[in-house]
Amino acid sequence: MAFSGLLRPAVLAASRSPRVERAITRMPATKKMVDRFVAGETERDAVAVSSALLGSGRFVSVDYLGEDTTDLDRARGTVAHYLRLLSALADLRAVDEAPVPRLEVSLKLSALGQRLPQNGYAIAREHAYEICTAAKAAGVWVTVDAEDHTTTESTLAIVRELRLDFPWLGTVLQAYLKRTEEDCRTFAGPGARIRLCKGAYREPAAVAYQSRSAVDESYLRCLRILMEGKGYPMVATHDPALIGAALGHVRESGRKSGDFEFQMLHGIRDAEQRRLVGAGHSLRVYVPYGDQWYGYFMRRLAERPANIAFFLRSFGRDR
Backbone angles phi, psi at 62, to 5 degrees: -100, 130
The span from the first CA to the last CA of the chain, in angstroms, equals 27
Distance CA 234, CA 60 (A): 12
292 Cβ contact list (under 8 Å, min separation 6): 65, 66, 67
What CA–CA distance (Å, rounded) separates 28 from 34? 11
Q: Is 230 marked as a binding-site residue?
A: no
Alpha carbons 307 and 187: distance in angstroms, whole number: 33
Q: Consult the annotation and say whether 199 binds a ligand.
A: yes
Q: Is 198 annotated as a binding residue?
A: yes
| Separation in Å, CA 277 to CA 49, 56, 119, 284, 302 | 17, 9, 43, 10, 27
210 is in an annotated binding site: no
Q: Which of 76, 204, 194 is nearest to 148 (CA)?
A: 204
Within its chain, how far is the Cα of 278 from the centroid?
23
Q: Is 224 annotated as a binding residue?
A: no
108: annotated binding-site residue? yes
| 178 annotated ligand binder | no
Torsion angle, alpha carbons of 282, 160, 97, 39, to 10: -60
Residues marked active site are found at 145, 195
Whether 263 contacts 234, CB under 8 Å:
yes
Query: Can you say which residues are annotated as belonging to the binding site for substrate?
Result: 108, 299-300
Query: Can you say which residues are annotated as belonging to the binding site?
Result: 108, 174, 198-200, 237-238, 299-300
Query: Can you say which residues are annotated as belonging to the binding site for FAD?
Result: 174, 198-200, 237-238
